[in-house]
């Protein structure tokens, strides 16, 4: 099969990569569409240094073979990326996505979705509504929408909560939409007016603030919650500047490199809570997308066939580019 891998020399498109073989409890999935995520680009830049294999974790596909779970065969699915051992203390406590031996699709020890086929445990799969209700171009956003929803799992956000979202990129625009559904006092802070305008066109109950044209002078009120989705080290420094004493900073970005030095004493004195936020619940993400409550069409920049995967990665890495999709061949 064709597959887009990360090697010691960088990304490589292979024409004859082995098709994975599912074991009992696993499913062989024919990938139909995949999305390039900022994490994929950060892996190429050195994040998690050492992952080598097929990239990609945002996908839609069809189950072709599921030994012992034949009822899944033929179903159109998305899949959660974290695979736990099921035996360690964390797995036994329901924390499988933090398993001590965790594998993660296209990120840690498990070939990912930028290929014609992938293998995942059946337990990780979620069946999708019909393609008429939820076409692949929408369904491919389930994983990042679930990641956005994780913030609502971790924090009680009320209409009176003042929230700043920092970043208007691929994930930031989804986080903004998901948090807007809470009715909170939401402001999205970004550097690029064009991307912020996408939110304005959605007529969401939020304000946007462009630091590229306005600086920070117009932000005069501290926030109860600041969500950093900038994907850059300086995002945390800005979050620290904008959060009120007793407030919460949610760190939603992963990136190659190190955070700037933290003033831990100041965090203690101001009683700031730090929350890391990663993967989230798929079922409510599917419902939001199927119901049209999260809009994705304007987030799609371009679509490439897998055969042009290297060009797709180059495009996705360009400043200002939002979601780039990889279309898989229709047959083996």
Domain spans of the chain, in order of start = 3-141+296-327, 148-276
Confidence (pLDDT) at 200 = 87
* 332 residues of the chain, pLDDT tens digit each: 999 999 999 999 999 999 999 999 999 999 999 999 999 999 998 876 789 999 999 999 999 999 999 999 999 999 999 999 999 999 999 998 999 999 999 999 999 999 999 999 999 999 999 999 999 999 999 999 999 999 999 999 999 999 999 999 999 999 999 999 999 999 999 988 889 999 988 988 888 888 766 777 778 899 999 999 997 878 888 999 999 999 999 999 876 666 667 788 988 989 999 999 999 999 999 999 999 999 999 999 999 999 999 999 999 999 989 999 999 997 54
> Other C-beta atoms within 10 Å of 64: how many?
16
Give the model's pLDDT for residue 330: 74
Q: Are 177 and 295 in contact (CB under 8 A)?
A: yes
> What CATH number belongs to 3-141+296-327?
3.90.180.10
Cα distance between residue 61 and residue 30, in whole Å = 5
Q: Taking the domain 148-276, which CATH number applies?
A: 3.40.50.720
pLDDT at 332: 46
**What's the pTM?**
0.94
State the Cα–Cα distance between residues 4 and 283, nearest whole angstrom. 28
pLDDT attached to residue 264? 86
């Amino acid at each position: 099969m064709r597959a887009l891998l990360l090697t010691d020399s960088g990304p490589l498109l292979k024409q004859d990569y082995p098709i994975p073989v599912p074991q009992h409890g696993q499913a062989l999935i024919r990938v139909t569409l995949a999305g390039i995520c900022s994490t994929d680009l950060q892996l190429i830049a050195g994040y998690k240094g050492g992952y080598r294999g097929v990239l990609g974790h945002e996908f839609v596909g069809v189950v072709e073979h599921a030994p012992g779970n034949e009822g899944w065969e033929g179903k159109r699915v998305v899949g959660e990326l974290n695979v736990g051992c099921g035996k360690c203390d964390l797995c036994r406590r329901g924390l499988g996505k933090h398993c001590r031996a965790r594998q993660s699709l296209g990120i840690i020890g498990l070939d990912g979705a930028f290929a014609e086929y992938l293998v995942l445990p059946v337990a990780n799969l979620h069946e999708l509504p019909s393609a008429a209700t939820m076409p692949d171009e929408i369904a491919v956003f389930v994983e990042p929408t679930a990641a956005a929803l994780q913030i609502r799992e971790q924090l009680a956000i009320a209409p009176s909560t003042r929230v700043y979202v920092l970043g208007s990129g691929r994930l930031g625009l989804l986080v903004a939409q998901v948090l807007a559904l809470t009715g909170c006092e939401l402001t999205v802070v970004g550097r690029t007016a064009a991307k912020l305008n996408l939110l304005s066109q959605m007529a969401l109950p939020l304000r946007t603030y462009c630091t590229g044209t306005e600086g920070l002078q117009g932000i005069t009120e501290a926030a109860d919650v600041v969500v950093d989705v900038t994907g850059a080290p300086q995002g945390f420094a800005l979050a620290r500047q904008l959060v009120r004493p007793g407030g919460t900073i949610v760190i939603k970005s992963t990136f190659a490199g190190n955070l700037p030095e933290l003033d831990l004493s100041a965090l203690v004195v101001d009683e700031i809570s730090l929350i890391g936020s990663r993967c989230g619940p798929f079922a409510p993400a599917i419902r939001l997308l199927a119901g049209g409550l999260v809009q994705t069409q304007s987030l799609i920049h371009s679509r490439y066939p897998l055969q042009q995967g290297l060009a797709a990665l180059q495009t996705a890495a360009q400043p200002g580019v939002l979601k780039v999709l990889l279309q898989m061949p229709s047959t083996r």
